[in-house]
Every structure is written in C-alpha cells, then in structure tokens.
Amino acid sequence: MSYQNILVETKGRVGIIRLNRPQALNALNQALMAELTQAVQAFDADDAVGCMLLTGSEKAFAAGADIKEMADKSFIDAYGGNFAADWHGIAQARKPVVAAVAGFALGGGCEIAMQCDIIIAADTAKFGQPEIKLGVIPGIGGTQRLTRAVGKAKAMDLVLTGRNMDAAEAERAGLVARVVPAASLMDEAMKVAETIAGMSLPSVLAGKESVNAAFESSLAEGVRFERRIFHSLFATEDQKEGMKAFVEKRKPDWKNK
Ligand code: CO8
C-alpha cells in the first residue's frame, strides 16, 4: 500500500505509523486521516503485528485538524457531510496503539494521541485543545477523553482558555504515561511497544478491552466484565503456557491462541 501523508513500516512485531505532512506540521486533513485509518486497520488485521506505534516529527506530532481545509465549510458541509465522523480509526483498533509524541500535539493532534492507549511524551511535547481560539471546540473526542484523562478542572482550563500543557504538566495530570528526553523518544516508545507485542495477544486484547470498559460502565459492571474476560482466558493455550513457564522458571513461548 502506498501512502502520501504517512510512512508505514514494521519492526519485529511492532507496526509503526509516522504522520508525514511536514509542511503543515502534520495537520490532519481528510486524506491523511483516511490513510491513518487504513494503516491502523491493516496492522490490526495482521497476525505478524502485536502492537502499533504512532508518531509524528520532532517538531509536531500533529498541530490539529487542517484549518485551511476546514475554514470555508458551511454548517451543512460539516453537519450534512458528518465531518470527521470517520476520524476515530485509532480508537476502534483492538490491538494497543502507543503514541510517541514530540513537539505540538494540539487540537485534533491531542485528540488522536488520546485515542491511543499509552502516550509516551518527549520533554518537548506540548498538548492543548486550542480550538476555542478558532471559534469552535474539540470535535473528535477531546472534551470527553481529556476530561476522563485529567479531570474536570484541567480539562475546562485547557478547553476554555486554549492554553497548552507541557510534558511535565501532562504527566502530572495523568494524560501521559511517561516523559523521556526527546533524543530517546523513539527508543523508549519502541521498548514499550515491543514489550506489549511480546506478550500473548489474546491477553493483550483482553487487557485493553477491560481497561476501556472502565470508561463505558459502572464500577460493578466493569468488574463483572473483567472477571468474565479473565475466566475466558483460561480457554487459551497461552494461559496454560504462561503459568507453566512461571512454575518451570523459564520464559513463556506464546502461541497467541
Ligand atoms: N492547519 C493547517 N495548517 C497548519 C496548522 C493547522 N492546524 N498548523 C500549522 N499549520 C501550517 C502553518 O499554516 C504553516 O504553513 P505555511 O508555512 O504555509 O504558512 C506551517 O504549518 C508551519 O506553521 P507555523 O508557521 O504556524 O509554525 P510555528 O512554529 O510558528 O507555530 C503552532 C506552530 C503554534 C503549532 C501554530 O502552527 C499553530 O498555532 N497551529 C494551529 C494549532 C491549532 O489551532 N490547532 C487546532 C486546529 S482545530 C482542530 O484540531 C479541530 C479538531 C476537530 C476536527 C473535527 C471536527 C468535527
């Protein structure tokens, strides 16, 4: 598959997608988002891939939706055309997606980072939802995912003032899993992705699905869901292998089934 706006490669069992519109700081236009969704779906369906890694450039993960592409839209263009309804491809992936974020992750850029499962940030990263400064609000989940990630106080602060958070603040607030020096961002993010890709895939899928259930259900319902998924993993060969390997003091040999 040849793409114009992203670069795609596989290293071991990690599928890597790099946003690649340097002239526009990786601003998200329709073409880029269609390619991103296609690449995510392809890795999700590929048995040779256990985890994905999404990144941008040193200067920008993504500086938001493409303002030049959006500027002249009418209400009917946006509403009638259901603008950006198909910009949720990462959130729909079953395999985990690690975001490696350096530089600007603003607006839609912050929103697609939040669609990923783990954000590793370079110390240069800046997160924000500046849409208010353009006379709009976040439109691909920002008000919902940011609020769940950092709570009402900071979400209101960012969404209503449009200010940016640096990497240290984003880590303190719980948006970011780890902050690393910019020079080692890809190495550190790859280590995380490789670690996940080296686990048994059924339990990785189950772990991701169960954590995500916490955002969609009551505590009691989520705990019941988790227990049923836990039970179901006893049907896998990898559960037998994982526990046997522990007892025999050796590394498990996962079959991903
Ligand atoms: N859209 C289009 N072009 C962009 C964008 C963008 N979001 N961001 C940067 N660019 C372009 C610039 O226009 C410039 O192009 P050119 O060289 O042709 O003038 C080039 O990228 C480099 O940018 P700057 O010269 O501005 O670089 P600086 O280092 O001076 O500034 C900033 C970097 C601070 C990131 C600045 O570019 C900026 O403020 N960008 C806009 C950030 C923003 O407002 N993002 C939110 C966009 S709205 C959004 O994301 C909504 C998501 C929901 C959509 C779905 C709704 C349903």
Question: How do the domains of the chain map onto residue ranges?
Answer: 6-197, 200-248
Q: Is the pLDDT of residue 42 over 90?
A: yes
For residue 109, the ligand 1 atom closest to its alpha carbon is 50
Confidence of residue 242 (pLDDT cuts 50, 70, 90): very high
Ligand 1 centroid–CA 56 distance in Å is: 14
Ligand 1 centroid–CA 39 distance in Å is: 24
Closest CA to 111 of 175, 157, 169, 52: 175
Which CATH superfamily groups domain 200-248? Lyase 2-enoyl-coa Hydratase, Chain  A, domain 2 (1.10.12.10)
**Ligand 1 first shell, C-beta below 6 A:** 24-25, 27, 63-68, 83-84, 104, 106-108, 130-131, 134, 138-140
Ligand 1 centroid–CA 59 distance in Å is: 12
Confidence of residue 1 (pLDDT cuts 50, 70, 90): confident
Average pLDDT over residues 220-228: 97
171 is catalytic: no
Average pLDDT over residues 139-156: 98
Strands 164-166 and 126-128: antiparallel
Closest CA to 222 of 237, 231, 211, 230: 211
Tell which one of 67, 101, 126 to mutate to probe ligand 1, the residue whose CB is within 8 A of the most ligand atoms: 67
Residue 206: what pLDDT?
A: 98
69 is catalytic: no
Strands 118-122 and 164-166: unpaired
Average pLDDT over residues 91-112: 98
Q: How far is CA 137 from the centre of its chain?
A: 20
What is 6-197's CATH number, 3.90.226.10, 3.30.450.20, 3.90.1150.10, 3.10.620.30? Answer: 3.90.226.10
Residue 92: what pLDDT?
A: 98
108 is catalytic: yes
Q: Order across the sheet with 118-122: list the strands.
A: 6-11, 14-19, 51-55, 97-101, 118-122, 178-180
Ligand 1 centroid–CA 138 distance in Å is: 14
Residue 70: what pLDDT?
A: 97
Looking from the CA of 13 toward its CB, the CA atoms found within 13 Å total 19
Confidence of residue 32 (pLDDT cuts 50, 70, 90): very high
Q: Is the pLDDT of residue 219 over 90?
A: yes
Q: Is the pLDDT of residue 117 over 80?
A: yes
Q: pLDDT tens digits for 47-78? A: 999 999 999 999 999 999 999 999 999 999 99
